Amino acid sequence: MAKDIIIAKNLKKWFPLRTGLLSSILKKEQFFVHAVDGISFNIKKGEIFALAGESGSGKTTTGRLLVRLIEPTDGVIIYDGKDITKLSQKEFMPYRKKLQIIFQDPYESLNPRMLIYDIIAEPLTIHGFSEKEKEERVFKALEDVRLVPPQEFIFRFPHELSGGQRQRVAIARALVLNPEFIVADEPVSMLDVSIRAEILNLMFELKEKYGMTILYITHDLALARHICDSIAIMYLGKIMEMGSVDEVINEPLHPYTEALIEAVPVPDPEASRIETVLKGEIPSPVNPPSGCRFHTRCPKYIGDICKAKEPKLTEISKGRYVACHLYSSK
Amino acid sequence: MKREASLLEVQNLTTYYELPRGYVKAAENINFNVKVGEALGLAGESGCGKTTVALSIVRLLPPEGRIMGGKCLFKGVDIVKLPEEEVRKKIRWKGISIVFQGAMNALNPVYRIGDQIVEAITTHEDVSEEEAIKRAEKLFELVGIDPSRLDNYPFEFSGGMRQRALIAMALACNPDLIIADEPGTALDVIVQAQVLKLLKSLKEKLNLAVIMISHDLSMIAETCDKIAIMYAGRIVEYGDIVKVFKRSLHPYTQGLIGAFPSIKGPRMRMISIPGSPPNLLNPPPGCRFHPRCKYAMDICRKEVPEFIEIEPEHWVACHLVSKK
């Protein structure tokens, strides 16, 4: 039974809303964007855990919180049994080697003025590796991501590489410190469709080879279904449903999950089309709806309880969680 | 090509971009047609030439763009040969409208949305401003936005609403054909589904013909009747959407379909096509896909495959297939 490598408890991140000078003088209240508003989940060692949702759901913020690129407003992050939430930057340094992140935009995440060698070697430099060790590790990382022969790539600049190659460099950079946990934030969404599978298959192979765990952030449910083991569906900073990817996608419980799945187009012109599409748009995260955040658009709205009381994320069967009054036992 | 009532017939269209170092052969020998009320999906990845084809049809190519040959017959009239004045007066907005990729970010931020739609109407038609405003209100209703929001500025609209406002604008002068370039990009899944549903309903209500340009085969499968798959400036497969999806013949089509995992059905290993699209300044000889094709034969490296009708309403350009 695989143990939990990451446990998040009631994680929150509120961003203060910047207002103009006059408003800050006149207004007494401070407004916040409730990007992540109290979420709890466990990720097992070795699995690929999908964090799925639309824009404004808080998934990217959550990914960055876990590697402490940004600091949580509240809540606890436990890594491999140790509470890493409040460690000082110095105490946290050794953990930075274990927790890495791959960003979405291969055109923005690599410093355009650095050689590929330096980009991949940078984390090693920061952590005090010798020149010889750096060279070995950079070459190995390039081989792992199949940018071979390494000599052909180390003296190039990012602009000389294609999007797919750049993303491989980003992966190499994330691998070079032998991490245990990688946050992959929509790593293929900006790549051409025909090469996405290549990058994903590569990530999967490397995960298996090095025994890593991956948090895969995505808005693409179809993709998540094919490569991930577990999934958590986020909406406006909260988790609506969570469980194994097969259960959640094949038998969704939360009305939002159902709506999301129905909205995903299917590459089959003969597939039967569901005619109902969820109405409306995602409300503002500055002033999220009361009670259940989804109640303003929910096709299965029960009544006042949905508006008044926020449903707790409850485990209704082993490993299967849902936050919805439809399922709360009375 | 069948000689039925085609609204738009593109014949052997070839468009290059003239750069100091040579011609970028962006689109070559493009052939397809769109009937009244029909939706054609123009599919392919970035750089395949689909936007170039769209811009050629409405004659909005950038200064370096040159239509080297071919015809674009719209209701029997060749747009390619028309003088610019005629294109502006008769074709754009009134005959064919185009919603550009990412256009929701190109709305003028300092003008109200209503004013921008009214401007589009009064520029192309001889109507009073009041008349134009009334039309704009009806258009908003048509696309599902409260007409009172004509007074809003673009920043007050969400991405999905801006996309719908643009579709409304594109319909302002009652065109017969609308070209939508990547209508789902930058939109969330649910909003994207709303926009697609809107396009489908407009197609039915107004008997509107649509050319949907997209790299997303799923979106095209949901909305279109026909599909043309483009690769490196050429159409490799074209025809009735069910036939192309169910019996895809070109290796690139098969690869592309395999790269779209379905949310339904069993879990599958995703396929990818190794390599990347060629540089169109100097494309490979023969079939442009041959460097990435696992079935490549000698002839593929030398001769451009012919576009053959392999079964009714299904064309493909591939030596593998034409050999049979």
Alpha-carbon span A271 to A128, nearest angstrom: 56
Alpha-carbon span A313 to A284, nearest angstrom: 22
pLDDT at A39: 96
Q: Is B218 on the interface with A (CB under 8 A)?
A: yes
Residue A289 and residue A211 share a domain = yes
- pLDDT, tens digit (0-9, with 9 covering 90-100), for B277-308: 898 999 999 999 999 999 999 999 999 999 99
> Average pLDDT of chain B?
91
Collapsed DSSP state (helix, strand, coil) of residue B305: coil
For tokens 């709890």, name the residue: A40
pLDDT at B260: 87
Enumerate the residues of chain B whose CB falls inside 8 A of the CB of residue A263. Answer: 189-190, 192-193
pLDDT at A28: 65
Q: Please give the span between the terminal C-alpha atoms of chain B, in angstroms, as a whole number.
A: 21
> Average pLDDT of chain A?
91
Residue, of A286 and B214, whose pLDDT is higher: B214
B184 pLDDT above the threshold of 90: no
- Give percent above pLDDT 70 in chain A: 96
Kindly identify which residue of chain B lies nearest to residue A297, measuring between CA atoms. Answer: B190
Q: Is B30 on the interface with A (CB under 8 A)?
A: no
Q: Answer yes or no: is A284 within a domain.
A: yes
- pLDDT, tens digit (0-9, with 9 covering 90-100), for A223-252: 999 899 999 999 999 999 999 999 999 999
> What one-character-per-residue DSSP string does A134-168 give?
HHHHHHHHHHHTT--STHHHHT--GGGS-HHHHHH
pLDDT at B4: 54
Residue A185 and residue A134 share a domain = no
Q: Which domain holds residue A285?
A: 4-17+32-98+180-193+207-328
Q: Please give the span between the terminal C-alpha atoms of chain A, in angstroms, as a whole number.
A: 32
- Give percent above pLDDT 70 in chain B: 98
Spatial contact of B79 and B15, defined as CB atoms under 8 Å apart: no
Residue A322 and residue A274 share a domain = yes
Enumerate the residues of chain B whose CB falls inside 8 A of the CB of residue A187. Answer: none
B323 pLDDT above the threshold of 70: no
Enumerate the residues of chain A whose CB falls inside 8 A of the CB of residue B215. Answer: 192-193
> What one-character-per-residue DSSP string does B143-196 give?
TT--GGGGG--GGGS-HHHHHHHHHHHHTTT--SEEEEESTTTTS-HHHHHHHH
| Assigned token pair, A138 | 């950079």
- Give the strand order in the sheet containing A213-218: A99-102, A181-185, A213-218, A48-53, A230-235, A238-244, A320-322, A314-317
Q: Answer yes or no: is A295 within a domain.
A: yes
Spatial contact of B266 and B276, defined as CB atoms under 8 Å apart: no
pLDDT at B187: 84
Residue A186 and residue A279 share a domain = yes
Distance from the A53 Cα atom to the nearest Cα atom in chain B, whole angstroms: 9
Enumerate the residues of chain A whose CB falls inside 8 A of the CB of residue B273. Answer: 194-195
Residue A272 and residue A164 share a domain = no
Instruction: Give mean pLDDT, residues A179-188.
Output: 95
| Assigned token pair, A212 | 């890593």
pLDDT band of residue B1 (cuts 50, 70, 90) is very low
Residue A280 and residue A148 share a domain = no
Q: Which of residues 130-189 of B touch A (CB under 8 A)?
A: 158, 160-161, 188-189
ipTM of the complex: 0.84
B2 pLDDT above the threshold of 60: no
A7 pLDDT above the threshold of 90: yes
Enumerate the residues of chain B whose CB falls inside 8 A of the CB of residue A193. Answer: 45, 215-217, 256, 259-260
Q: Which one, of B313, B288, B315, lies nearest residue B300 by Cα?
A: B288
Residue A235 and residue A305 share a domain = yes
Residue A310 and residue A172 share a domain = no
Alpha-carbon span B142 to B35, nearest angstrom: 23
Collapsed DSSP state (helix, strand, coil) of residue A11: strand
Alpha-carbon span A232 to A244, nearest angstrom: 9
pLDDT at A159: 94
Q: Dmax of chain A from CA atoms?
A: 66
Contact A260 B190 (CB under 8 A): yes
- pLDDT, tens digit (0-9, with 9 covering 90-100), for A17-74: 876 666 666 766 778 999 999 999 999 999 999 999 998 899 999 999 999 999 999 9
Contact B263 A282 (CB under 8 A): no
Collapsed DSSP state (helix, strand, coil) of residue B60: coil
Residue A148 and residue A40 share a domain = no
Q: Answer yes or no: is A299 within a domain.
A: yes
CATH code assigned at A55: 3.40.50.300
Spatial contact of A276 and A282, defined as CB atoms under 8 Å apart: no
Q: Answer yes or no: is A25 within a domain.
A: no
pLDDT at A22: 67
Q: Answer yes or no: is A307 within a domain.
A: yes
Alpha-carbon span B232 to B253, nearest angstrom: 13
Total domains present in chain A: 2
pLDDT band of residue B324 (cuts 50, 70, 90) is low
Strands (E) across chain A are located at 4-16, 32-44, 48-53, 74-79, 82-83, 99-102, 181-185, 213-218, 230-235, 238-244, 314-317, 320-322
